[in-house]
Structure 1
Amino acid sequence: MNDVAAWDGGLVRTWLDRRLAAARLDQAAADRRGYGAEGDYDAAAAEEWVCRALQVGGHADDAAAFAAHIKTLLGQEEYRATGIHDDRRYDRNVRAHLRKIAKMTKANEGFANTLRYRA
């Protein structure tokens, strides 16, 4: 019996939708906390950007296309967003989120965990 699960594009899209919503809530919470939470705000904004970018183009239905899309995004020089506090920190967070999702994609695990980010 094969214990490796097949790629489920619907599950990946659901995971991205839920992480996008959670990132928005995290940004709002960090914004309410004020100056000391600017790093948290930038990290949540980076996660929102990544989830939104990965939703574009319908690549989630094919694991290879999804991985190629992530690789293309990782190859970008910079990631534009408004309202962030530190561009370098934001770019680092975007790349970290992309690398994390790339690992999840390669292993095809963690997308079923919609309650928490870490698998």
Structure 2
Amino acid sequence: MVDLPKPWDAALVRKWLDRRHAAARLDQSAADRRGYDARDDFDKAAAEEWVCRTLRDDDAVSEQAAFAIRLKELIAQDEYSATGLYDDLRFERHVRTYLRKLAKMTKANEGFEKTFRHQ
């Protein structure tokens, strides 16, 4: 038996991006309340929030190939602008890491059905 690849579901990807955006905002607030020791967690959540906010309304989400190309463009980008961060370099590293995770999910077309806050 041959397993056919499942079709790209743009609505599911947008829903996943919306849910991850909301979860990242909550994670940022929680890290901010924890203070100085949670700076890395804050920057990590800020990176996830930036990626999800940037991509959730992007037209490239409609097609798997276009979304993969958009992710590669973002990974190749030199700088990512955001305010209120503790460490810009750490933020940029987290953005690229999150973009690579999304690129792997996009290539395999799996993982977007997991919409719980904690993954």
**Structure 2 runs not aligned, ≥5 long:** none
The answer to whether the 8 A contact 2:19-2:117 is kept is no
Q: For the residues of structure 2 that align with 1:13 and 1:109, how far apart are their CA atoms?
A: 14
**Structure 1 runs not aligned, ≥5 long:** none
Task: Kindly report structure 1 stretches of 4+ aligned residues shifted beyond 3 Å.
Answer: none
Q: 1:50 to 1:117 in 2, by over 3 A?
A: farther
How many Å apart are 1:57 and its aligned residue?
A: 2.6
Q: For the residues of structure 1 that align with 2:58 and 2:11, how far apart are their CA atoms?
A: 14
1:9 corresponds to which residue?
Answer: 10
Q: For the residues of structure 2 that align with 1:84 and 1:78, how far apart are their CA atoms?
A: 14
2:113 corresponds to which residue?
Answer: 112
RMSD after superposition: 1.3
SS across alignment from 1:79: coil
Amino-acid identity (%): 59
Q: For the residues of structure 2 that align with 1:112 and 1:51, how far apart are their CA atoms?
A: 15
Q: For the residues of structure 1 that align with 2:32 and 2:19, how far apart are their CA atoms?
A: 20
Q: For the residues of structure 1 that align with 2:117 and 2:65, how far apart are their CA atoms?
A: 25
The answer to whether the 8 A contact 1:19-1:117 is kept is no
The answer to whether the 8 A contact 2:44-2:91 is kept is yes
Q: For the residues of structure 1 that align with 2:98 and 2:118, how far apart are their CA atoms?
A: 10
Task: Give the alignment's TM-score, normalised by structure 1.
Answer: 0.94
How many Å apart are 1:55 and its aligned residue?
A: 1.8
Q: For the residues of structure 1 that align with 2:81 and 2:61, how far apart are their CA atoms?
A: 23
Instruction: Spell out the pairing of 1:1-119 with structure 2 (5 A cutoff).
Output: 2-116=3-117, 118=119
How many Å apart are 1:4 and its aligned residue?
A: 1.9
Q: For the residues of structure 1 that align with 2:42 and 2:106, how far apart are their CA atoms?
A: 26
